């Protein structure tokens, strides 16, 4: 009877286990395979080649661990072999260390975000490179995030602060080079924060002080500077490592329960606080290589749990008391390279096997062979005091001279404003017929203080030449006196010429009429603002020339903009069936659309104030000799004569494109439409085209209107994503249009789907039958 009951119990338990195990959803499997492709098929993921494998049972592999709950991935851990071996990183792919230049961080994170139930994510030493995008916050269920030992740069994205479930955040051994983030106060569940070995700068973030759950705070080997505030509010803190920074203040108060404190290699000054002698849980204290002075508190040596104490290489002086007692667990003491004098306490017995004591480089009477004479320490002390006094006098003198110069400058400015005639600096350049205006939404003050907010755009554009001012004679020589052979065409912004500069570089020169709305000063501010717009997918502005005329009819009141010359034509010419060049397939069109969406996103968010009216069209998308797409004629509305008119005149039916052309998202929607149907169909501005667009979501409508090359080279899912976002972009209601960031995300997702389908075809073709 007993054996029968035992057998029934076993059967019941086994059936419960089977019923509680679910196969992984196919969509989750697809995401994992896409991640493998993003990571360029690392050796650690070779096991994933077997399509029949159950991903949820890979925990036995030390470098790859996947955990599932129900039929969703909840934990993903991958450890690669691409550890950072460079001391500096400039934002470009490095062969054999990073992933290739084809890797795109935005797409990778967008794919990760489809693992909606993910709670643990650890991707270590995989060669991942690029700025960490804000969309990482879409992994809203994450409790553990570790992206250590990669090549991430830029800023730590602020939207991580919205991941309120996060308990562990590790971004060690990367190249983050912005200011230290200061938005941690919303992360009420955070217990471990580790940003070790980056290039973060700025002051210690005060928002950390409100995280009472924090147990480990590790931000060593960065560039933090300034004051370190009192940390006693971090009541749960056990480990603090801020070594190898540039912190320069007195030592702060510590929480009572702290176990490890490492503040070495900074510039802390003053005395070691007496409060450190009350930290009963403290086991490890390292204050070496600072400029601490005075005597160390005797109680620090006798703490009940202290095992490691290092105060070497400071300016600690005086003598240690003979009756000093050492804690029973103290195994290592280093007081070397200070200014201590006198004898050693008996508990510093250097012959003991249980305790290591380093005392060299002081003025102690013990072991004089490795000590300075006592008079040296006194002399050094007196010199330091004298230098400090002299430095104080010098600083006071400098401050006094500076204040005097400021008062003189202020008085001169007042006199200049009273007696100097206004506007004389502009009268010899151009007679002002109207007052300075703030057309296009930019006042002179705002133009002068315009600032960039994008770090990612700085990488990849540092090699571009600096924008400079050209003389009209230089441009005449470059174009053979604006000969007809140099004429390239004329658009809404004036005539375009091809020229060759003195250094042999080919350039495009656009000649625009000089607007009478702006003074020369205001116009130069606007041109300077345009010159700051640098992005890999924007045609680079190399220079400008303001010509106020007076010599001939051609040069009367002109602005000439000099930009880089792109020899491979426009995007539009590669969409037409009768094109002399290559006609792009669907994947190539998507790649170009993504590049231009990035450029528009930069124009909207990469500088304050943003540029929102850029007259986007396929003719303004140019290709260089490598096939890279770049947007031209951007931002010219702030210097053109007609800022309130939209697009070229169209005869006949007034399409809603003309009404909303000033909306970049709407204009981009028509670029998407042209990429789908071709320029010949898109050129029709009649009611029939509107009806056909309305039916484009049906298969019959797609066969009738979509370019045959697109139909032959696209996947249906990828096409559907682009059709959906295109329809939203050209919506009649502006409030229902998406942001350019949403457009970019959808295009990247469509490219991933298309790439997966193409990759599957290649995989199937290579697989044994």
Residue 468's contacts (CB-CB under 8 Å, 6 or more residues apart) are 542, 543
Task: Give the per-residue pLDDT at 558.
Answer: 81
The pTM of this model reads: 0.54
- DSSP-derived letter for residue 47 is G
Task: Give the per-residue pLDDT at 569.
Answer: 85
Q: What is the mean pLDDT of residues 87-112?
A: 86
Task: Give the per-residue pLDDT at 169.
Answer: 96
Task: Give the per-residue pLDDT at 591.
Answer: 92
Cβ–Cβ < 8 Å for 620, 633: yes
Give the up-direction half-sphere exposure of residue 729: CA atoms within 13 A in the CB hemisphere. 31
* Structural tokens at position 15: 């059936």
pLDDT tens digit string along 527-536? Answer: 888 888 888 8
Task: Give the per-residue pLDDT at 49.
Answer: 73
For residue 506, give Cα distances in angstroms to 479, 503, 567: 10, 9, 9
Q: What is the mean pLDDT of residues 175-192?
A: 91
Q: Is it the case that residue 769 has pLDDT exceeding 70?
A: no
Give SS3 for 405: helix
Q: Is it the case that residue 634 has pLDDT exceeding 70?
A: yes
Give the closest residue to 312 by CA, choosing from 326, 333, 327, 331. Answer: 333
Cβ–Cβ < 8 Å for 45, 65: no
CA-based angle 258:263:264, to the nearest 5?
Answer: 140
Q: What is the mean pLDDT of residues 560-572?
A: 88
Share of the chain above pLDDT 70, in %: 78
Q: What is the mean pLDDT of residues 5-24?
A: 48
**Selection from 18-22, 54-58, 477-481 with the highest mean pLDDT:** 477-481
In whole angstroms, give the CA distance from residue 587 to residue 594.
Answer: 11
Q: What is the mean pLDDT of residues 488-495?
A: 82
Q: Is it the case that residue 257 has pLDDT exceeding 90?
A: yes
Mean pLDDT lowest among 37-46, 106-115, 157-166 = 37-46
Give SS3 for 75: strand
Q: Is it the case that residue 51 has pLDDT exceeding 70?
A: no
Q: What is the mean pLDDT of residues 618-633?
A: 89
Give the closest residue to 535 by CA, choosing from 591, 598, 469. Answer: 598
Task: Give the per-residue pLDDT at 641.
Answer: 58
* Structural tokens at position 761: 């075809």
Pick 667 or 44 by higher pLDDT: 667
Task: Give the per-residue pLDDT at 643.
Answer: 41
Cβ–Cβ < 8 Å for 382, 374: no
Task: Give the per-residue pLDDT at 422.
Answer: 42
191 — pLDDT class (breaks 50, 70, 90)? very high
Q: What is the dihedral of CA 121, 127, 130, 135, to 10 degrees?
A: -20
288 — pLDDT class (breaks 50, 70, 90)? very high
**Selection from 412-426, 632-646, 708-722 with the highest mean pLDDT:** 708-722
Cβ–Cβ < 8 Å for 567, 550: no
Task: Give the per-residue pLDDT at 25.
Answer: 76
Residue 50's contacts (CB-CB under 8 Å, 6 or more residues apart) are none
522-554 residues labelled b (16+ CB within 10 A) or e (exposed)? bbbbbbebbbebbbbbbbbbbbbbbbbeeeeee
Cβ–Cβ < 8 Å for 494, 511: yes
Give the closest residue to 488 by CA, choosing from 467, 518, 509, 504. Answer: 509
Q: Is it the case that residue 759 has pLDDT exceeding 70?
A: no
In whole angstroms, give the CA distance from residue 609 to residue 533.
Answer: 12
Q: Is it the case that residue 441 has pLDDT exceeding 70?
A: no
In whole angstroms, give the CA distance from residue 440 to residue 516.
Answer: 14
Rg of the chain on CA atoms, in Å: 34
Question: Which pairs from 123-126 meet CB under 8 Å and 24+ separation?
Answer: 123/76, 123/78, 123/147, 123/150, 124/78, 124/79, 124/80, 124/148, 124/149, 124/150, 125/79, 125/80, 125/81, 125/82, 125/83, 125/149, 125/150, 126/39, 126/42, 126/78, 126/80, 126/82, 126/99, 126/150
Q: Is it the case that residue 45 has pLDDT exceeding 90?
A: no
* Structural tokens at position 400: 């006094």
607 — pLDDT class (breaks 50, 70, 90)? confident
Beta strands in 369-518 (DSSP E): 451-452, 468-469, 487-491, 494-500, 506-513
Q: Is it the case that residue 314 has pLDDT exceeding 50?
A: yes
Q: Is it the case that residue 556 has pLDDT exceeding 90?
A: no
Average pLDDT over the chain, rounded to an integer: 80
Q: Is it the case that residue 640 has pLDDT exceeding 90?
A: no
Q: What is the dihedral of CA 416, 419, 421, 424, to 10 degrees?
A: -40
Q: What is the mean pLDDT of residues 129-148?
A: 92
Cis peptide before 709 (omega within 30 of 0): no
Q: What is the mean pLDDT of residues 640-660?
A: 40
Give SS3 for 622: strand
Q: Is it the case that residue 98 has pLDDT exceeding 60?
A: yes
Task: Give the per-residue pLDDT at 415.
Answer: 76
Q: What is the mean pLDDT of residues 758-762?
A: 51
Cβ–Cβ < 8 Å for 533, 551: no
Task: Give the per-residue pLDDT at 231.
Answer: 94
Task: Give the per-residue pLDDT at 655.
Answer: 40
Mean pLDDT lowest among 259-263, 360-364, 380-384, 538-542 = 380-384
Give the up-direction half-sphere exposure of residue 168: CA atoms within 13 A in the CB hemisphere. 11
Q: What values do phi and psi take at 194, rounded to 5? A: -135, 115
Beta strands in 61-183 (DSSP E): 64-69, 72-82, 120-126, 129-131, 144-146, 151-154, 168-170, 175-176
């Amino acid at each position: 009877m007993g054996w029968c009951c035992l057998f029934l119990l076993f059967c019941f338990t086994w059936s419960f286990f089977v019923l509680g195990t679910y196969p992984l959803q196919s969509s989750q499997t697809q995401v994992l395979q896409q991640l493998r492709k993003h990571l360029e098929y690392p050796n650690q993921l070779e096991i994933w080649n077997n399509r029949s494998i159950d991903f949820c049972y890979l925990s036995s592999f030390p470098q790859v661990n996947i955990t599932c709950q129900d039929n969703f991935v909840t934990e993903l851990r991958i450890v690669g072999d691409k550890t950072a071996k460079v001391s500096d990183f400039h934002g470009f792919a490095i062969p054999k260390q990073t992933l290739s230049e084809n890797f795109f961080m935005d797409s990778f994170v967008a794919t990760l975000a489809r693992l909606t139930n993910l709670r643990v994510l650890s991707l270590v030493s995989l060669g991942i490179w690029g700025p960490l995008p804000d969309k990482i916050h879409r992994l809203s269920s994450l409790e553990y995030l570790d992206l250590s030992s990669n090549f991430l740069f830029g800023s730590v994205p602020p939207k991580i602060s919205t991941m309120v479930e996060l308990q562990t955040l590790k971004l060690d051994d990367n190249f983050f080079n912005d200011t230290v983030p200061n938005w941690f106060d919303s992360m009420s569940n955070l217990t471990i924060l580790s940003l070790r070995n980056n290039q973060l700068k700025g002051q210690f973030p005060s928002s950390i002080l409100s995280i009472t759950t924090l147990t480990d705070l590790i931000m060593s080997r960065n560039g933090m500077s300034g004051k370190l505030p009192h940390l006693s509010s971090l009541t749960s803190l056990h480990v603090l490592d801020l070594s190898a920074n540039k912190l320069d203040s007195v030592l702060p108060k510590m929480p009572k329960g702290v176990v490890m404190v490492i503040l070495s290699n900074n510039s802390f000054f003053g005395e070691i606080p007496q409060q450190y002698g009350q930290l009963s849980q403290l086991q490890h204290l390292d204050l070496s290589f600072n400029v601490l002075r005075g005597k160390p508190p005797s109680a620090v040596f006798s703490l009940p749990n202290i095992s490691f104490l290092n105060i070497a290489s400071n300016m600690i002086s005086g003598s240690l008391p003979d009756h000093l007692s050492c804690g029973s667990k103290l195994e290592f003491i280093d007081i070397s390279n200070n200014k201590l004098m006198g004898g050693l306490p008996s508990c510093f017995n250097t012959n003991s096997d249980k305790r290591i004591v380093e005392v060299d480089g002081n003025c102690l009477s013990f072991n004089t062979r490795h000590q300075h004479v006592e008079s040296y320490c006194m002399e050094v002390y007196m010199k330091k005091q004298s230098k400090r006094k002299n430095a104080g006098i010098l600083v006071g003198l400098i401050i006094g001279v500076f204040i005097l110069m400021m008062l003189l400058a202020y008085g001169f400015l007042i006199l200049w404003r009273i007696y100097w005639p206004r506007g004389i600096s502009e009268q010899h350049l151009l007679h002002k017929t109207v007052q300075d205006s703030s057309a296009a939404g930019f006042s002179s003050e705002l133009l002068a203080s315009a600032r960039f907010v994008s770090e990612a755009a700085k990488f990849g554009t540092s090699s571009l030449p600096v924008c400079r001012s050209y003389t009209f004679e230089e441009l005449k020589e470059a174009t053979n006196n604006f000969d007809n052979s140099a004429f390239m065409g004329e658009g809404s912004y004036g005539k375009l010429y091809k020229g060759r500069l003195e250094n042999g570089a080919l350039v495009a020169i656009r000649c625009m009429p000089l607007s009478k709305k702006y003074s020369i000063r205001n116009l130069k501010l606007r041109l300077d603002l345009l010159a700051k717009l640098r992005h890999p997918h924007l045609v680079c502005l190399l220079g400008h020339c303001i010509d106020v005329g007076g010599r001939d009819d051609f040069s009367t009141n002109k602005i000439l903009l000099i930009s880089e010359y792109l020899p491979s034509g426009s995007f539009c010419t590669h969409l037409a069936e009768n094109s002399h060049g290559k006609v792009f397939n669907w994947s190539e069109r998507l790649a170009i659309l993504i590049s231009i969406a990035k450029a528009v996103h930069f124009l909207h968010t990469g500088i304050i104030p943003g540029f929102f009216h850029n007259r986007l069209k396929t003719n303004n998308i140019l290709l260089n000799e490598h096939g890279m797409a770049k947007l031209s004629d951007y931002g010219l509305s702030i210097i053109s004569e007609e800022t309130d008119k939209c697009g070229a005149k169209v005869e006949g039916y007034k399409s809603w494109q003309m009404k909303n052309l000033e909306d970049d998202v709407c204009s981009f929607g028509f670029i998407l439409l042209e990429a789908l149907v071709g320029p010949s169909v898109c050129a029709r501005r009649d009611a029939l085209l509107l009806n056909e667009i309305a039916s484009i979501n049906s298969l019959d409508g797609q066969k009738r209107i979509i370019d045959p090359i697109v139909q032959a080279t696209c996947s249906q899912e990828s096409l559907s994503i682009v059709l959906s976002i295109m329809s939203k972009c050209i919506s009649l209601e502006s409030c229902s249009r998406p942001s350019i960031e949403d457009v970019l995300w959808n295009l990247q997702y469509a490219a991933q789907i298309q790439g997966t389908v193409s990759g599957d075809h290649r995989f199937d073709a290579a697989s044994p039958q």
